[in-house]
């Protein structure tokens, strides 16, 4: 708390001609829920293409798509059965070509999702491995082991799935005879690949080339911290209070790769470098790691000059909306990533997290653990407070140097669906924990486009939606915010426009000490002074032209209220 120091040294130097990914505002599309073009209630690529103009208007530089590849959809597409085909649910490969062509006209780059830690159990490789039997070369694409115990009835080690239950499933052979076990860190339909098999690495290099050749600008790499497991697959040594091995999403600062033998193993860097080499065969392509690694002085090893271009900054996402905590994490991010020559990324929401407009509607400590989600039985958030803080937090974030990720719907201020009925749940977490953890569906609900035109607020022309929206969503629809001063949408547009105008992504950053206190945080970046008031008292503003603000009456008042941010011209 008291780590705030009074220094105003430059923590990020202005960069001339920064590469696009260093400064980009990247918009995450969750394909199921962005826009439905064919009326079946499921989002699709033609739906996205038809709505691309609204993203150009928002001012984003790139879109990252969660997976739209062929998949049985057991984990909403993160279970890929063919890495080179678009799933018919979302359209065709031609639809993607058309989408990329239109996006290119609008100056928007396309980033796709690579899922290298595991495939679907319906992938040809896994089907062949099951058929070929123990000891076959086909089994060596995955992590098959004999069980422990007299008859192999016990799993090979104590690892648990991130979605709940054991990380091992035993195959049943012909005639009902139980045989080997296979490893799956996620759902049992997502067998983990064996990255020490050279065929696996080669295949993924070719998948990268396949999509780069089609014109994609980059990849977000799923579970990048999990691809390589510790030799010998030793037991996981972290236990909860009941003595059960706890599944961890990633490595926390207290943990080591010896104790959690399935995350962050040193062997992974060889494969990162191979991915990077493939990206470097092309011009201007970028790779972003989804690596749950903390603290940042460990994570920074992933973005050394010959490794990933960038990595999600989940420590930032998890930071309390509070002056001292934010000051520390921003400083740490700029210093640590900067020490290896990388830029920082910033993110507050994605398809695995409770939306930040809802997280901030709770006391920080009351937000359920990442991935557990919120159901009707959980205490409900303060929606108005959450939205206000979310706007202030986004305005704080979008002024920082580096690249910012925004998740579809946050530009509308969408809250999580926190009262979704169990019958609609699709997240495997819900099923694997028998409802104890409701999972992530609440942040994956279809977007509202036109208020009250039909039951899904224009998401689909038919009013259908694969998940129902909460009643409140008609108030957040894009058409009721467009052109309306003080709306979340107009705030995002303004912030992104000013960010671009002042080149904040590549700007010179320092803390503004004389304004900073336990309740106020201020920084300057390329001539823009960003001030956030965490409250409770209103703050008299320094003089300066208001460039953007989350407080829409600030243009007439001169007091910055609690939980508000302003950008002033210096």
Residues forming the site for ligand TEU (CB under 6 A): 75, 78, 115, 162, 186, 222-223, 249-250, 290, 292, 351-352, 370-371, 429
In the annotation, is 284 catalytic? no
75 vs 257, beta carbon nearer ligand TEU: 75
- Cβ-closest position to ligand TEU: 371
- Token couple for 16: 């001339």
Distances (CA, A) of 432 to 77, 292, 429, 439: 17, 22, 5, 10
- Gap between the Cα atoms of 172 and 422, Å rounded: 31
Q: Cβ of residue 440: shortest distance to ligand TEU, in angstroms?
A: 6
- Gap between the Cα atoms of 169 and 499, Å rounded: 49
- The number of beta carbons lying within 10 Å of the beta carbon of residue 252 is 14
352 vs 561, beta carbon nearer ligand TEU: 352
- Gap between the Cα atoms of 185 and 193, Å rounded: 10
349, 406 in Cβ contact below 8 A?
Answer: yes
Please choose, from the candidates 43, 51, 73, the residue with its C-alpha nearest in 3D space to the C-alpha of residue 467: 43
- Gap between the Cα atoms of 234 and 229, Å rounded: 9
222 vs 336, beta carbon nearer ligand TEU: 222
Strand order in the sheet with 528-533: 509-511, 520-525, 528-533, 564-569, 546-549
Residue with tokens 């946050």: 410
Q: Using CA of residue 389, residue 395, residue 400, residue 402, what is the dihedral sign?
A: positive
Catalytic residue among 281, 306, 436, 518: 281
Q: Cβ of residue 500: shortest distance to ligand TEU, in angstroms?
A: 28
Q: Cβ of residue 211: shortest distance to ligand TEU, in angstroms?
A: 18
Q: Cβ of residue 511: shortest distance to ligand TEU, in angstroms?
A: 31
- Gap between the Cα atoms of 291 and 147, Å rounded: 30
SS3 of residue 100 by DSSP: helix
332 vs 352, beta carbon nearer ligand TEU: 352
Q: Cβ of residue 317: shortest distance to ligand TEU, in angstroms?
A: 11
87 vs 290, beta carbon nearer ligand TEU: 290
- Gap between the Cα atoms of 132 and 40, Å rounded: 39
Q: Cβ of residue 183: shortest distance to ligand TEU, in angstroms?
A: 14
- Gap between the Cα atoms of 328 and 75, Å rounded: 35
ω into 295 cis (within 30 of 0): yes
- Gap between the Cα atoms of 437 and 375, Å rounded: 9
Catalytic residue among 222, 290, 332, 561: 222
- Gap between the Cα atoms of 515 and 560, Å rounded: 13
Q: Cβ of residue 352: shortest distance to ligand TEU, in angstroms?
A: 4
- The number of beta carbons lying within 10 Å of the beta carbon of residue 440 is 26
State the distance between the two ends of the chain, measured CA to CA, in whole angstroms.
29
Residue with tokens 């609690």: 562
Q: Cβ of residue 291: shortest distance to ligand TEU, in angstroms?
A: 9
Cα radius of gyration (the chain): 23
In the annotation, is 205 catalytic? no
The catalytic residues are 222, 281
């Amino acid at each position: 708390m008291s780590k705030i120091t009074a220094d105003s040294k430059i923590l990020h130097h202005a960069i001339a001609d920064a590469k696009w990914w260093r400064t980009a505002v990247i918009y995450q599309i969750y394909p199921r829920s962005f826009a439905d073009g064919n009326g079946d209630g499921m989002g699709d690529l033609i739906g996205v293409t038809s709505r691309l103009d609204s993203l150009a208007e928002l001012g984003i530089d790139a879109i990252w798509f969660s997976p739209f590849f062929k998949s049985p959809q057991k984990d909403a597409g993160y279970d890929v059965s063919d890495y080179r085909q678009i799933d018919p649910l979302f359209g065709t490969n031609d639809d993607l070509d058309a989408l990329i062509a239109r996006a290119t006209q609008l100056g928007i780059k396309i980033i796709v999702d690579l899922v290298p830690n595991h495939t679907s159990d319906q992938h040809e490789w896994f089907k062949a491995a099951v058929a070929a039997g123990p000891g076959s070369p086909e089994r060596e694409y995955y992590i098959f082991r004999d069980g422990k115990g007299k008859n192999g009835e016990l799993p090979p080690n104590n690892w648990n799935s991130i979605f709940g239950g054991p990380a091992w499933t035993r195959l049943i052979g012909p005639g009902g005879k139980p045989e080997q076990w296979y490893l799956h860190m996620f759902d049992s339909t997502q067998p983990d690949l064996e990255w020490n098999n050279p065929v696996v690495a080669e295949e993924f290099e070719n998948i990268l080339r396949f999509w780069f050749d089609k014109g994609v600008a980059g990849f977000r790499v799923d579970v990048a911290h999990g691809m390589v497991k510790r030799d010998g697959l030793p037991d996981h040594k972290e236990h909860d209070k009941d003595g059960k091995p706890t599944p961890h999403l990633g490595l926390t600062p207290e943990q080591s790769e010896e104790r959690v033998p399935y995350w962050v193993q040193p062997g992974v860097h060889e494969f990162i470098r191979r991915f990077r080499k493939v990206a470097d065969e092309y011009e201007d392509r970028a790779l972003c790691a989804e690596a749950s690694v903390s603290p940042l002085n460990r994570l920074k090893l992933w973005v050394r000059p010959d490794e990933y271009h960038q990595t999600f900054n989940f420590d930032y996402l998890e930071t309390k909306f509070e002056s001292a905590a934010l000051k520390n994490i921003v400083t740490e991010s700029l210093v640590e990533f900067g020490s290896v020559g990388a830029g920082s990324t910033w993110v507050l929401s994605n398809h695995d997290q409770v939306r930040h407009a809802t997280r901030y509607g709770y006391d920080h400590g009351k937000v359920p653990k990442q991935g557990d989600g919120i159901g009707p039985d959980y205490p409900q958030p303060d929606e108005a407070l959450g939205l206000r803080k979310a706007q202030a937090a986004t305005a704080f974030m979008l002024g920082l140097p580096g690249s910012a990720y925004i998740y579809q719907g946050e530009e509308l201020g969408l809250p999580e669906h926190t009262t979704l009925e169990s019958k609609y749940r699709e997240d495997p977490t819900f099923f694997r924990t028998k409802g104890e953890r409701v999972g992530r569906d609440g942040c994956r609900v279809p977007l509202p486009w036109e208020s009250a035109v039909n039951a899904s607020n224009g998401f689909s022309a038919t009013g259908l939606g694969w998940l129902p929206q909460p009643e409140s969503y008609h108030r957040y629809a894009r058409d009721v915010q467009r052109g309306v001063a003080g709306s979340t949408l107009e705030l995002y547009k303004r912030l992104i426009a000013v960010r671009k105008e002042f080149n904040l992504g590549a700007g010179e950053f320092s803390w503004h000490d004389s304004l900073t206190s336990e309740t106020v945080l201020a920084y300057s970046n390329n001539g823009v002074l960003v001030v956030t008031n965490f409250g409770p008292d209103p703050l008299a503003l320094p003089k300066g032209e208001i460039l953007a603000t989350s407080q829409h009456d600030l243009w007439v008042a001169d007091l910055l209220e609690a939980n508000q941010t302003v950008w002033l011209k210096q």
